[in-house]
Amino acid sequence: MAGHSKWSKIKRQKGANDAKRGKMFTKLGNNIAVAAKASGDPDMNPDLAMAIQQAKDANMPNNNIEKAIKRGTGELGGGPIEEIRYEGYGPSGVAVIVECATDNRNRTSADVRNAFTKNGGNMAETGAVAYQFEHKGVIEVKKTGDDDADQLVAIEAGADDIIDEDDIWVVQTDMKQLHTVREALTKVDLEVKSAKLEYVPNNTVEIDEDKSDKVIKLMDALEDIDDVSETYTNFDIV
> Are 196 and 182 within 8 A, CB to CB?
no
The DSSP-derived string for 192-230 is EEEEEEEEEESS-EEE-HHHHHHHHHHHHHHHTSTTEEE
- All structural domains of the chain: 82-131+204-237 (3.30.70.980)
Distances (CA, A) of 49 to 93, 157, 169, 207: 36, 19, 22, 37
**Is it the case that residue 200 has pLDDT exceeding 80?**
yes
Pairing of strands 192-201, 133-142: antiparallel
pLDDT at 10: 72
**Is it the case that residue 88 has pLDDT exceeding 90?**
yes
Q: Stretch 120-132: mean pLDDT, rounded?
A: 95
Q: Where are the beta strands (DSSP E) in the chain?
A: 82-89, 95-102, 122-124, 133-142, 161-165, 168-174, 192-201, 205-207, 228-233, 235-237
- Cα–Cα dist 96/74, whole Å: 32
pLDDT at 13: 62
Which amino acid is located at 62 in the chain?
N
Q: What is the pLDDT of residues 24-61, one digit of tens each?
A: 888 889 889 999 988 999 999 988 998 998 899 888 99
**Is it the case that residue 218 has pLDDT exceeding 60?**
yes
pTM of the model: 0.84
Question: How much is the CA Rg of the chain, to the nearest whole Å?
Answer: 18
CA angle 64, 47, 54 (to 5 degrees): 45
